[in-house]
Amino acid sequence: MGHNMGEVSEFDEWEAKTYAGLISGDLKVKNGERYKCPFCSSGRKGYCSINGLLRHASIVAGASTNSGVKATHSALIKHLNNSHGKSSEPQSQQVAVEPRLPENRGKQYVWPWMGVLVNVPTKWENGHRVGASAARLKEQLSCFCPPKVTALWNARGHTGTAIIEFGNDWSGFENAQAFGRYFMAEGHGKADWKKKKNDYSGIFGWVAMDEDYIFHGPTGAHLRKSGTLKTINDFENERVRKTGKLVSHLSSQVEVKDRHLNELEWEYNGIIESLDKMVRENEKLKLSHEKRISEKQKQARMRSLAIIEKNKKLRSELEYWTPR
Residue 198: pLDDT above 70?
no
Q: What is the structure's pLDDT at 163?
A: 96
Q: What is the structure's pLDDT at 97?
A: 37
Residue 243: pLDDT above 80?
no
pLDDT band (50, 70, 90) for residue 64: low
Q: Residue 205 half-sphere exposure, CB side, CA atoms within 13 Å?
A: 29
b/e for 13-52, b at 16 or more Cβ within 10 A? ebbeebbebbeeeebebeeeeebbbbbebeeeebbeebbb
Q: What is the structure's pLDDT at 148?
A: 93
pLDDT band (50, 70, 90) for residue 239: low
217 vs 92, more confident: 217
Residue 269: pLDDT above 90?
no
As a whole number of angstroms, the distance between CA 321 and CA 324 comes to 9
Q: What is the structure's pLDDT at 106?
A: 63
For the segment 19-31, the average pLDDT, to the nearest whole number, is 81
As a whole number of angstroms, the distance between CA 175 and CA 180 comes to 9
223 vs 93, more confident: 223
Residue 7: pLDDT above 50?
no
Residue 214, phi then psi, degrees to nearest 5: -95, 0
Question: Nearest 5 degrees, angle CA 134-CA 186-CA 93?
Answer: 55
- Specify the DSSP element, H or E, that contains 115: strand 114-118
317 vs 251, more confident: 317
Q: How far is CA 297 from CA 24, 286, 293, 294, 300, in A?
A: 106, 16, 6, 5, 5
Task: Establish whether the linkage from the previous residue to 121 is cis, with ω within 30° of 0.
Answer: no
Distance, first Cα to last Cα, the chain: 148
**Most trustworthy range by pLDDT among 80-89, 91-100, 229-238:** 229-238
List where CATH 3.30.70.2890 sits in the chain. 104-230
The per-residue pLDDT of the chain, averaged, comes to: 80
Q: What is the structure's pLDDT at 114?
A: 95
Residue 14: pLDDT above 90?
no
Percent above pLDDT 70 for the chain:
81
What pLDDT digit, counting tens, does each position of 112-141 carry?
999 999 999 989 888 888 988 889 899 888
Q: What is the structure's pLDDT at 108?
A: 92
**Most trustworthy range by pLDDT among 222-231, 250-259, 265-274:** 222-231
Of 150, 152, 119, 156, which is closest to residue 137 (Cα–Cα)?
Answer: 150
Look up the CATH superfamily of 104-230.
Answer: XS domain (3.30.70.2890)
Q: What is the structure's pLDDT at 149?
A: 94
As a whole number of angstroms, the distance between CA 303 and CA 307 comes to 6
The sign of the torsion formed by the CA atoms of 73, 77, 78, 79 equals positive
Residue 95: pLDDT above 50?
no
Lowest mean pLDDT among 59-63, 82-86, 148-152: 82-86
Residue 44: pLDDT above 80?
no
**Most trustworthy range by pLDDT among 47-56, 64-73, 80-89, 168-177:** 168-177
Q: What is the DSSP string of 39-56?
A: TT--TTTT-B-HHHHHHH
Residue 85: pLDDT above 60?
no
